[in-house]
Structures are given as C-alpha cells and as structure tokens.
Structure 1
Amino acid sequence: MWDNNSFSGKPKWKSKGNLNKDVFSANGLSIFNNGKRYPGGDHIRYKYTYQPSGKTVSGCLHYPGDTPNSKRTYASGVVLNYAQWGGEC
C-alpha cells in the first residue's frame, strides 16, 4: 500500500498477512494485491474511512490475473481500517 493515489515510490505498508490497524494517509491510498492463486485465501478484503466525513467504504481485490481487478486507488484523507486475506469476493 502506498501513501499516495498513484502507486509511486516505495510502498509505505506491506504485509504477508492481514493488516488490522488503522493507517492514515493524507495523500491518498493505493492498494495492490500481489498474491498468487490460493483457493480460500487469495483475495484481499479491505475497509477504509474518509476523513473527516466518517464515510466508510469496503472492497475486495482479486489476485493478479484474476478478474476484475488487483489494484485500486483512493482520494486523499483516508484511514485504511483493515486489509485481510480471504476467499472469493
């Protein structure tokens, strides 16, 4: 995950497992599922909260090569609440 909405530079947060802590990004957020096909554990479910409105959004990313997507970007001022591995979206 990058602390921007353009996937530029080095990722700020990386994890081989679940990320279960709130991380704030004033610059936007880019999320990429870099996993491989693994039934029951190859998709990333995530939730983030816009600041200061408090609106929450949830999503799910497929692994590269699976459809529909393996990456997303979001506008500035967001808190990533969690990113967790799981099965099919």
Structure 2
Amino acid sequence: MKKHGHFHWKEEQKNWAKIVEPVAAKSGHAVCRICDNDGILKQIIVSKSKSDRHVYKCIKSARWGDKIPMDVKDECNATAAEEVETIHE
C-alpha cells in the first residue's frame, strides 16, 4: 500500500478517475472535469463545507492529468455535497 496525503490505496486499484482539464479551485469549492473509470466524461463540484475534507483537499490540489484514487460514483453517493454532471459532447 502507498500513502498519499491522507489517502491509503492499493497499487492495483482500478477505480481511478483522471482529471482531463485544469481544476477550477474557487473559494469554498472546486470544480473539475474527469474521465471516470468507465470512460465517461463528468464534471464534479466539491464543496469545502459539505463534502468530506479529504476528498475536497485531494480535488483542490490535483492537477490536469492526475488520477484521483477513488471511485467518483461511490464517493458522490456517500456525500450529498458533491454534484456530478455527465457531459455529452
């Protein structure tokens, strides 16, 4: 297992989402577009006050091309603060 900030994950984890555009980190929330583990382009909004603190910090500090060590669907179902929008382009 590797330790990255506050996250612990296994090397072989497959449920990673990749950030496909620079994260727009605003005061109190962060907006980013990701390609989830199913290959679907999504935009997620993570609120500092309503979402999990570790998820918020991970998203806010992430850069274009980084992989997020979580399954976005599971994380968003677990906390009502994150909004997910599927992008149809």
Please confirm whether the aligned pair reaches a TM-score higher than 0.5, indicating the same fold: no
Give the TM-score normalised by structure 1: 0.30
Higher helix share: 2
